[in-house]
A and B are shown apart, each in its own frame.
Chain A
Amino acid sequence: MKIVVLIKQVPDTYEERTLDLTTGWLNRDAGDNIVDEINERALEVALQQKDKDKSTEVVVLAMGPDGAAKAIRKALSMGADSGIHVKDDSLAGSDAIRTAAVLAAALKDVGADIILAGNESTDGRGGVVPAMVAEFLSLPLLGALSVAEFSAGTVSGERRSEEGTLRVSSALPAVVTVTENIAEARFPNFKGILTAKRKPVSTVSVGELEVASTPARSMVVSTSERPVRAAGTKVVDEGTAGTQLAAYLIENRLV
C-alpha cells in the first residue's frame, strides 16, 4: 500500500502570528516554521499503518518555498520513506484552487492508494484543499475522520459531528483527511534524524507538471490588525446587578 501524506509548513501556533500588512500575506519570517500539527497527525496515521504492515510505503508531498524542505526532512525523520517537494517561485500566494490543481498534478503519476491530509492547516484554515485535490483527481473523499482504518482495497473510519458519529468507508484509491482528534504525532528518534538526509526527495517545478500555467492568487483587498483587547464591562452590585447583567446579555445577543 502506498500512502502519500500532504504536509504543509506553517508558523508555529505557540508563537504570535502576524500578517504582512503591505502584501496581506502571512508573515512567515516572524517565527519558527514547523510541520502543520494536523498534517503531522495525518503522517502519524500513515506511519502507524507502516508499523503494522512493513510493506506500506509512505511518501510526503509538500508545496512551498525552499524552507519547506525542512518540513519534509522532519517528516522523513519521523519515518516517511521519501518526499516530493513542489517548489516554484510562481506559486507564491497561490489560492486554494491553484494549490489543489498543482498538488493533484504532482500526485497524478505517484500511484497512491491513499492520499492523506489534515482536514485543515493551522495557518489559513480554509479546509478545502484536500477536497479539491479529490475533485481534480476524480477520487472519493473521506473527510474529517477521527478514526481511520485501512485494509486491502478499502479505507473506513468515523466522522464525528454534533448530531452523531458517521461510519464511512470507501474503495481505494481515495483521499482521506483526519482531524486533530486522531493519533498524537510521534517524536522522531535519533536514528530517524540521522537517516532522514539519506532518503530521496525529488524537487519538482511547475513546468514539469501537467497543470495550467495560469497563476491564480488570492487577492487581499485590505487587512487590519486585531484591535487591542478592551477592558470588560464591570457591573457593581447596588441591588440591580442581576437586572443589569440580564440586560447586557440580551443586548449583546448572548442568551
Chain B
Amino acid sequence: MFERTEDQQAVVEMVRDFAATALAPHAAEWDETKHFPVDVLAEAGTLGMGGIYVGETYGGSGLSRTDAVLIFEELAKADPSIAAYISIHNMVAWMVDAFGNETQRAAWLPGLTSMTELGSYCLTEPGAGSDAAALATRAVRDGDEYVINGTKQFISGAGTSTWYVVMARTAETGSHGITAIVVPDGTPGLSFGAEEKKMGWRAQPTRQVVFEDVRVPVSNRLGEEGDGFMIAMKGLNGGRINIGACSLGGAQTAFEKSVAYLKERHAFGAALVKQQHLLFELADMDTELETARTLLMRAADALEHGAPDTVKLCAMAKRVATDTGFRVANQALQLHGGYGYLSEYGLEKIVRDLRVHQILEGSNEIMRLIVGRLALED
C-alpha cells in the first residue's frame, strides 16, 4: 500500500510534468484574473484526468482511489484551485459511472471523461449546508418529466458546466425523499447567480444555480427516487479524500518553499535553519504532512476495497489532511516573514486556496460529528 508501484511512479511523473508546465506557470495569473482555464482542463482530459477512477468502457482511466490521491497531490502542488476543481469534476463523473444506467453512461461519460464537457455537483442550498438532508429544492413528477424548482449555493463550475447533478426533494421523507437528477446546461428555466467573490479558489467560478420550472425527462434520474442522498454521500467519500490530497499538495509546496527559504535566508549571523526552533518547526510540518498522507492513503485503500469503516476513515482523513494542510501552509507563510504576505512569493495564495478545504465536502465539524456518532454506535 505504501510502496509505489512502477505504474504509480510513471503516473506521478506524468502528472508532475503536466502540472509543472500547464498549471504552475499560470497559477498566479489565473488567481489574479479569476480565469477558469477550460482549455487546460480539456488537455488534462486527454491525459485521462476527467475520469480517473471511472471504468474504461466510456473513456475513464480505471485507476484506483489511492492512485487518485497521488494524482491530486501532484496537481495541487502546482495549483490547489484547479486540482480541487478537477476533484469535483471527477466526483460527478464517478457518480454517473457508479449509479447511471447503460444509456446514461454511454450518453454522458465520454464528454465528462475527456473533460470537453464539465460537471457540477449541486447539493448545498442557501438554507441547507451541513444539514444537507434538509434541502428544499423540489422535483415534482409531471408525466415523463420532473419539474425542478429551487436554488443551489456555492456551486463550483456553475455557468460553465455542461451537466449539473442535482439533489432534489421528491418526497417529504427527510434524507430518504431526495433524488439525484442530471440537468443539462441550456435547459429552459436554468440560470446562474453572479460570480461569487472569494478568499481563494479564484481560478474556478462559484455561483448559485437557480431552477425555475426546469423540466427534464425522468430518464435523467440517477438510480431510483429516494436514492439521491445515498448517492450524494457516496460521492463525497471520495470527494473528501481527494480534497484532502489537494490540501496535502498545496501544503507540500509551501513546506518545500520554506525549507529552501530558511536555508538561504541569513539573520543573526547564520542561516535561519541554524535556529533550532525553526528547524523543529520544519520537522513538525514534515511529520504532520506525512501523518496526513498516511491516513489519506489508508482511507483511500478502504474506499477502494469497500471496507466497512470507509465512511469513518474518509471523514477522519478529510479532517486531518485539510486541517494539517492549512496549518502547514499558514506556518510556511509565517516562516517567510513579510515576504510570505506578498503575492509574489506564492504562499498567501496557497493559504487562501486551502482555507476552504476545511469548510467544503462536509465541514470539518461535520467530519467530527460523523466520527463521534460512529464511535457511540460501537
Give the B-binding residues of A (Cβ under 8 A): 73-74, 77, 187-191, 193-194, 196-197
Contacts and interface: CB of A to CB of B under 8 A. Distances in A.
A74 B48 contact: no
Interface centre among A74, A188, A197 (most CB of B within 10 A): A188
21 contacts: A73-B10, A74-B10, A77-B10, A77-B14, A187-B17, A188-B10, A188-B14, A188-B47, A189-B46, A189-B47, A189-B61, A190-B14, A190-B48, A190-B52, A191-B48, A191-B56, A191-B61, A193-B11, A194-B7, A194-B63, A197-B6
Nearest to B61: A190
A193 B56 contact: no
A197 B14 CA distance: 16
A73 B5 CA distance: 14
Given A187-B17, A189-B47, A194-B7, 16 more contacts: A73-B10, A74-B10, A187-B14, A187-B47, A188-B14, A189-B46, A189-B61, A190-B48, A190-B52, A190-B61, A191-B48, A193-B7, A193-B10, A193-B14, A194-B61, A196-B10
A190 B67 CA distance: 11
B18 interface: yes
Contacts of B62: 194
Interface in B1-34: 6-7, 10-11, 14, 17-18
Given A74-B10, A77-B10, A190 B17 contact: no
Nearest to A77: B10
A20 B14 CA distance: 30
A32 to B, nearest CB: 9
Contacts of A77: 10, 14
Interface residues of B, number: 16
Interface of B: 6-7, 10-11, 14, 17-18, 46-49, 52, 56, 61-63
Contacts, number: 38
Q: Which 8 A-B pairs have the closest CB atoms?
A: A190-B48, A190-B61, A189-B47, A189-B48, A193-B10, A187-B18, A187-B14, A188-B14
A76 to B, nearest CB: 10
A236 B7 CA distance: 59
Contacts of A188: 10, 14, 47
A242 B321 CA distance: 61
B261 to A, nearest CB: 20
A197 B17 contact: no
A197 B47 contact: no
Contacts of B17: 187
Contacts of A194: 7, 61-63
A193 to B, nearest CB: 5
Contacts of A196: 10
B192 to A, nearest CB: 32
A36 to B, nearest CB: 15
A197 B61 CA distance: 16
Contacts of B14: 77, 187-190, 193
A191 B113 CA distance: 12
A112 B10 CA distance: 29
A73 B7 CA distance: 10
Given A187-B14, A187-B18, A190-B63, A197 B7 contact: yes
A43 to B, nearest CB: 15
B6 to A, nearest CB: 8
Contacts of A74: 10
Contacts of A187: 14, 17-18, 47
